Structure 1
Amino acid sequence: MGLKVELKPGERLILGECLVTNGDQRTRLLIEGQAPILREKEIMTPDLADTPAKRIYLAVQIIYTSRDPRPHHETYFTLTRELAEAVPSAWPFIEEIGNHIITGAMYKALKSAKALIAYEKELLDHASRSTDLRRGREADRKPA
């Protein structure tokens, strides 16, 4: 049994190395065989990859959709090494992504990369809240 995909009007998906754009009506596809498939909501574009975790997701996506992923491995390794050095607590996510890549479970690697993006956002939100709290304390100390 194949994968059933229902596309909204104008929705896009990546099928192998091809970008497929739906027309102006809902469409239901049955896809049989082995090919990387990404729905529009799962696609990361270079202009959206504006954080280290998003760039890792993009690298994994490129590896997943490429006929020959080997030329992209060095980029992936460089990005993960830099993130691990800067944020050691991200290592479990990086390790999970790498394990999925090694075993050929590329879609699971993308899901793990999504979890890394969520973790990164949590860290950035926490840092932002802490900065706001510090600013608030400084404002409280200043005489009126």
Structure 2
Amino acid sequence: MAGLVLKLAAGERFVVNGALLENGDKPSTVRIADDDARVLRCRDALQPSEVDTPTKRVYYAIQLIITGDLKEEDVLSAILNECGRLEDVFETIDTSLMSVLRSMLERGNYYSALCHLRGIIAIEAELLKVAEHKSRQVQAKVA
């Protein structure tokens, strides 16, 4: 059985190819058989105010492709370029993080790319915490 399987809570909303869908009153499972379908769970969507890091900007741009607010042909090359810049940051942690993401994007697997990016966003958050801690230590020594 190929395709994406979503386990949905009662009333959960999700987007498929730009159309907003809502699950009924009971939890259910939906199989999206079309490998080319663009899927986004609304609970996984970032709000514009949450887009405050480079990795979240990539996530948000992909999200907008899925919802149909951006056209793939207009932004995919810019997203891939940004992934290239981020590769320098994440290669010391895992050399495959960004190459796997780029591969997913090049194949049009946007849902998988978002799932993969959630892990990268968590890593980015940890890196930013470490950087902030080090910055505070330097400021404390200077003061």
Normalized against structure 1, the TM-score is what?
0.70
Aligned residue number for residue 30 of structure 1: 30
Aligned residue number for residue 52 of structure 2: 50
Kept in 2, the 8 Å contact 1:56–1:79? The answer is: yes
Aligned residue number for residue 128 of structure 1: 132
Aligned residues: 134
**1:136 Cα offset (Å):** 3.6
**1:26 Cα offset (Å):** 4.1
- Name the larger-Rg structure: 1
Matched, 1:70 2:88: no
Matched, 1:40 2:46: no
Distance 1:32 1:82, change over 3 A: closer
Distance 1:54 1:4, change over 3 A: closer
Normalized against structure 2, the TM-score is what?
0.70
**1:44 Cα offset (Å):** 2.2
Aligned counterpart for 2:7 among listed residues 5, 13, 29: 5
- Cα shift readout 1:6-62 (whole Å, capped 9, x = no counterpart): 2344x3211221123457x44535344322222223212333222110011122233
Kept in 2, the 8 Å contact 1:59–1:75? The answer is: no
- Aligned mates of 1:138, 1:8 — CA distance in 2: 55
Structure 1 stretches lacking a partner, 5+ long: 140-144
Aligned residue number for residue 109 of structure 2: 105
Which structure is richer in relative contact order (CA contacts within 8 A, separation 6 or more)?
2
SS of residue paired to 1:20: strand
**1:105 Cα offset (Å):** 3.3
SS of residue paired to 2:21: strand
CA RMSD of aligned residues (A): 3.0
Distance 1:47 1:20, change over 3 A: farther
Give the aligned residue type for 1:124.
Answer: L
- Cα shift readout 1:68-127 (whole Å, capped 9, x = no counterpart): 52222133134334445xxx2325332221012223433322222222212211111001
SS of residue paired to 1:50: coil
**1:4 Cα offset (Å):** 4.9
Matched, 1:19 2:53: no
Structure 2 stretches lacking a partner, 5+ long: none
Distance 1:47 1:75, change over 3 A: farther
- Aligned mates of 2:32, 2:62 — CA distance in 1: 23
